[in-house]
Chains A and B, each alone.
Chain A
Amino acid sequence: MKSMRDIALTILLFCASILAWEGIVRIFEVPTFIFPAPSKVAAALWNGFASGLYQKHLSHTLLETLLGFLLGSALGFFLGAAVALNRYVEYFFYPYIVMFQSLPKVALAPLIVVWFGLGLKSQVVNAALVAFFPLLVNTMVGLKSADEDRVNLMRSLAASDSQIFWMLRLPNALPFVMAGLDVAMIFALIGAIVAEFVGARAGLGMLIQTMNFNMDVSGQFSVLLILSIVGLLLNRCILLLRRRILFWDPAEKERLEQERIAL
Chain B
Amino acid sequence: MEAIAIKELSKLYPTRDGSVHALEQISFSVSEGEFVAVIGPSGCGKSTLLKVLAGILRPSKGEARLRGTPITGPRRDIGVVFQSPVLLPWRSVLDNVLLPIDVQRLGRDRHLKLAMDLLSLVGLEGFERRYPWELSGGMQQRVAITRALIHDPAMLLMDEPFGALDAMTREQMNLELQRVWLERKKTVLFITHSIAEAVFLADRVLVLTPRPGRLMEDVQVKIPRPRALETMNLPEFGAYVHSIRARFNAKGVIDA
Decide if B82 touches A152 in the complex (CB within 8 Å).
yes
Interface set, chain A 212-263, CB cutoff 8 A to B: 247-250, 253
Contact with A along B33-56 (1 / 0, CB 8 A): 000000000000000000100111
Chain A: residues with Cβ within 8 Å of the partner, total of: 21
Task: Report if A59 contacts B (CB, 8 A).
Answer: no
Task: Report if A38 contacts B (CB, 8 A).
Answer: no
Decide if B104 touches A158 in the complex (CB within 8 Å).
yes
CA distance A152 to B91 in the complex (A): 17
- Looking at chain A's contact residues, the main secondary structure is helix
CB-CB under 8 A for A250 and B82, given A155-B74, A156-B55, A158-B75: no
Chain B: residues with Cβ within 8 Å of the partner, total of: 26
CB distance from B92 to the nearest CB of A (A): 9
Decide if B131 touches A150 in the complex (CB within 8 Å).
no
Decide if B86 touches A157 in the complex (CB within 8 Å).
no
Task: Report if B236 contacts A (CB, 8 A).
Answer: no
- Looking at chain B's contact residues, the main secondary structure is loop
Which one of B7-15, B95-103, B200-208 contacts A?
B95-103
* B83 and chain A: residue at smallest CB distance: A149
Which one of A12-20, A96-104, A163-171, A184-192 contacts B?
A163-171
Task: Report if B119 contacts A (CB, 8 A).
Answer: no
CA distance A247 to B84 in the complex (A): 22
Q: Please tell me which one of the listed residues B56, B104, B131 contacts residue A155 in the complex, with CB atoms under 8 A apart.
A: B56
Contact with B along A148-185 (1 / 0, CB 8 A): 01101111111100010001100100100000000000
Chain A residues, CB < 8 A from B56? 152, 155-156
CA distance A125 to B103 in the complex (A): 41
* B133 and chain A: residue at smallest CB distance: A250
* A149 and chain B: residue at smallest CB distance: B86
* A168 and chain B: residue at smallest CB distance: B88
CB-CB under 8 A for A159 and B103, given A149-B82, A149-B84, A248-B133: yes
Task: Report if B76 contacts A (CB, 8 A).
Answer: yes
CB distance from A129 to the nearest CB of B (A): 32
CA distance A149 to B50 in the complex (A): 13
CA distance A156 to B47 in the complex (A): 14
Chain A residues, CB < 8 A from B123? none
CA distance A163 to B100 in the complex (A): 11
Q: Please tell me which one of the listed residues A149, A152, A158, A250 contacts residue B73 in the complex, with CB atoms under 8 A apart.
A: A158
The 8 closest A-B pairs by CB, nearest first: A158-B74, A156-B80, A250-B133, A156-B54, A157-B103, A248-B90, A159-B103, A171-B90
